[in-house]
Amino acid sequence: MITNILGLTVLSFMTSFQEFFGDTIPVAEWVDTAVEKITDTFSWFFDPIKNDFGDFIEGFADLLAGVPAIIIIAIMVVIAFFISGKRIALPIFTLLGLLLFITNNFGNN
């Protein structure tokens, strides 16, 4: 009896969820709104950082953009291997996560 009630509750929740959001959840819009709100609210904090370190950050970003993604992934996996105490689980999940990241074009705007 409880499972039927819980099953119906979960089913009705999922139906309501899909009716409210449709087929996709607008996470990108939420993140854009949150970032805009944070940068507007804390501009007194972020503006000096941008003015003082902006050139360094842009140069570093250009450097990383010039290196092929597979090399950065290999470096991150090696770092994860040594940080994890030479265990294999963290490097494997690092590799899989970063491969998922680049294969789904999450890094491209």
Convert the pLDDT of each residue in 16-73 to its tens digit: 666 666 667 777 888 899 999 998 999 999 888 888 998 999 999 899 889 988 999 9
Q: 92 in a domain, yes or no?
A: yes
The pLDDT score that the predictor gives to residue 2 is 46
Q: Let me know if residue 79 belongs to a domain.
A: yes
pLDDT for residue 94 is more than 90: yes
Contacts of residue 101, defined as CB under 8 A and 6 or more positions apart, other chains included, come to 107
Find tokens 């902006």 and name the residue.
Answer: 54
The total domain count for the chain is 1
| Per-residue pLDDT, 74 | 94
pLDDT at 1: 44
Based on C-alpha coordinates, what's the Rg of the chain? 21
- Label residue 68 exposed, middle or buried (CB < 10 Å: 0-12, 13-18, 19+): exposed
Domain of 75, in residue numbers: 26-103
**CA 32 to mean position of chain CA atoms:** 13
Q: How many CB atoms lie within 10 A of CB 90?
A: 16
Q: Is the dihedral of CA 69, 71, 75, 81 positive or negative?
A: positive
Q: Residue 86: inside a domain, yes or no?
A: yes
Nearest of 76, 47, 61, 74 to residue 107 by alpha carbon: 61
Residue 13 domain flag: no
The sign of the CA dihedral 91, 94, 98, 101 is positive
Q: Is 32 a member of any domain?
A: yes
At 106, is the pLDDT very low, low, confident or very high (cuts 50, 70, 90)?
Answer: low
